[in-house]
Chains A and B, each alone.
Chain A
Amino acid sequence: MATLYKTATSEFMDVDDIREENDRQHKIKNRVLLVASRGVTFRHRHLMNDLEALLPHTKKEAKVEAKQDMDLLNELAEIQGCNNVFYFEARKHQDLFLWISRAPSGPSVKFHVQNIHTMDELKMTGNCLKGSRPLLSFDANFDSEPHLQLLKEMFTQTFGVPKGARKSKPFFDHVFTFSIVDGRVWFRNFQIVEKDPETGGSMKKNDKPTLVEIGPRFVLCPIRIFEGSFGGPTLYENPRYISPNSVRAAIKAQKSTKYANRVADTQDREIRAEANPMPADPFKDVFE
């Protein structure tokens, strides 16, 4: 065999080239570390589990308390051999923030995660192979602004399953869509059904496939983009982002004005009544 191989390599000069290219491609290892902070709710945890099930190149870590020292996450990523980190940070046991970072040198993005629907919900009827590679579908809006372009590249590197990743299956049966509506990134996951929806039989050659949603669903509202991993100078700030805290405060303030308004009205009425006393009726005693 060895001689055969030798002759083959000598005869076809480009075999080496092919091998080299293969090697180079094998070196691209996008691995993602999934970490949650303390205080995530069940819904947040389920979302994390869904992502773990869908992305075979992820590694889940135990919860960490990284409020002060975000550098800890870079170290964790290094230990686990990951070059990307998804850090799910829960605040007040209700708000979920997602950090997507390229460890150890950056950049990193902080998102507010909204409208979470996990795969456990029975409304989404699709299903796909565990570990099959997804197609990544991006909205054309992603090319319109530099910060969105950066997001697109980061999503491609984190949500895309590398070819030949461990535990991955060699087929494509689902598509992740990333769309921009309202300045936020909407994530959907669809199964590609290549069967006739009426008969269930195989499709004709020119028929369009149909999509069935698998889940999960979530919306990522970008807050900031940092140059470093979990820190460093800010490169982008979202002017349209309103923190959930101030939204709650606004709701509360609105509710609180209800009582204050009523009290003010009562006082006003009293003052008015005093200022305009009823005129005395001259015919009051006519019939008595």
Chain B
Amino acid sequence: MPNEERIYNESMTGDDDETALEIAALQSESLLPPPKKEYIYHKEALTALLEEISQKKLKWIHRCDITSTEPVVVDKTEDDLDRELKFYQQGLEAAIQGKQAVIKAGVPFSRPDDYFAEMVKTDTHMAKIREKLLAQQQGIQNAEEAKKQRELRKYGKKIQQEKLKEREDKKKASLDKIATIKKRLRSGDLGDADDFEIDVDSDDDANFSTRSGATKRGGKLAPNKKRQNKNDRYGFGGKKRGLKRNTADSAGDITGFSVKRNKSGNFSGGSKKGKAKRPGKAKRQRGL
């Protein structure tokens, strides 16, 4: 029964802190006022009074009371789930018994489907409840999805590492091969070996570097890295105005935002280990 489960999954823990404090306080008995010696309990008077006010002579349909067959016994009152389940069982028993009794008395029990009337909770309120339930379910789904993604990422990382290792191994193997060939050639024919060596070396690094560090691209000398960055920053060509200003997009951009980092409190970042701290004075002197 999904309804039943739903009810008992929601334990209401609103007053938890308060109750914890109260329980702690109650356990330290000495702090409470000393218990009174005698408490009033006039059983006979109560029974007589009950007789006096009783409306038990009325027909059941006017009273609609049902007493459970089993008394409710809860081991631990704090155990929400167990307690609420007991209440539920008590209510269910009453509902089943009550229906029989009501029908026996000749009074309709269930509301016909075409009987519409004002409800205790308004439609807007019920819509809110539904919304909340949906949001809850959505949240659970999202969490599961995220979990799956995390697992996948973990697995993906493993694959990536394996691939990198494989590539390195391959490189190593080929270098070894070249080395052996070189060795063989050196021992065989020296004249030929020189040419071959240059070839091999030039194969190794893909792009030619000039002394200044500028990289040749398409026959034109590109500026070095520092210059490139400076150009990007201060402008080299293009519009100069408003580049550093926020636009609607940039203001709304939160890709650089990290909740973890924001909550960490320091601005050095989310990394757990920052710069090594200077040891305390005593420690330093001991070190000397």
Contacts and interface: CB of A to CB of B under 8 A. Distances in A.
Interface stretch (A11-19, A72-80, A130-138, A279-287): A130-138
Interface residues of A, number: 87
Contacts of A25: 58-59, 62
B92 A135 contact: no
Nearest to A25: B62
Given A162-B62, A180-B72, A251-B25, A169 B117 contact: yes
Given A136-B64, A152-B65, 20 more contacts: A123-B12, A128-B119, A129-B117, A130-B119, A137-B66, A138-B66, A140-B69, A141-B72, A146-B46, A147-B46, A153-B55, A163-B62, A169-B117, A177-B90, A180-B72, A210-B3, A211-B92, A238-B39, A239-B39, A246-B33
A197 B5 CA distance: 12
Given A54-B120, A247-B26, A139 B90 contact: yes
Nearest to A202: B113
B245 interface: no
Given A107-B49, A150-B46, A135 B40 contact: no
Given A139-B72, A236-B42, A212 B3 contact: yes
A113 interface: no
Nearest first, the 4 A-B pairs at minimum CB distance are A137-B94, A250-B25, A135-B98, A140-B71
A193 B94 CA distance: 13
Q: With a 10 A CB-CB cut-off, give which of A169, A192, A197 has the most chain B CB atoms.
A: A192
Q: With a 10 A CB-CB cut-off, give which of A28, A127, A129, A177 has the most chain B CB atoms.
A: A177
Interface in A140-159: 140-144, 146-147, 149-150, 152-154, 156-157
B88 interface: yes
B106 to A, nearest CB: 12
Contacts of A65: none
Contact of A139 (B31, B61, B68): B68
Interface string B37-81: 001111101110110011110110111111111111010010000
Nearest to A162: B62
Contacts of B108: 170-171
B130 to A, nearest CB: 8
Instruction: Name A's interface SS.
Output: mixed
Interface string B113-150: 00101111100011011001100000000000000000
B285 interface: no
10 contacts: A132-B111, A137-B90, A138-B68, A149-B50, A190-B95, A209-B95, A211-B4, A235-B42, A235-B45, A236-B42
A179 interface: yes
B64 A125 contact: no
B25 A125 contact: no
Nearest to A128: B120
Contacts of A210: 1, 3-4, 92
Interface stretch (A32-40, A114-122, A259-267, A270-278): A114-122
Contact of A160 (B15, B24, B64, B115): B64
Interface in B4-44: 4, 6-7, 10, 12, 14-15, 21-22, 24-26, 28, 31-33, 35-36, 39-43
A102 interface: yes
B107 to A, nearest CB: 7
Contacts of B206: none
A227 interface: yes
Given A125-B133, A160-B64, A181-B72, A135 B53 contact: no
Contact of B7 (A131, A171, A212): A212
Nearest to B7: A213
B96 interface: yes
Contacts of B33: 246
A45 interface: no
A186 B87 contact: yes
A250 B91 contact: no
A234 interface: yes
Contacts of A129: 111, 117-120
B182 interface: no
Nearest to A225: B46
A64 interface: no
A19 B46 CA distance: 35
B90 A179 contact: yes
A61 interface: no
Nearest to B118: A130
A122 B129 contact: yes
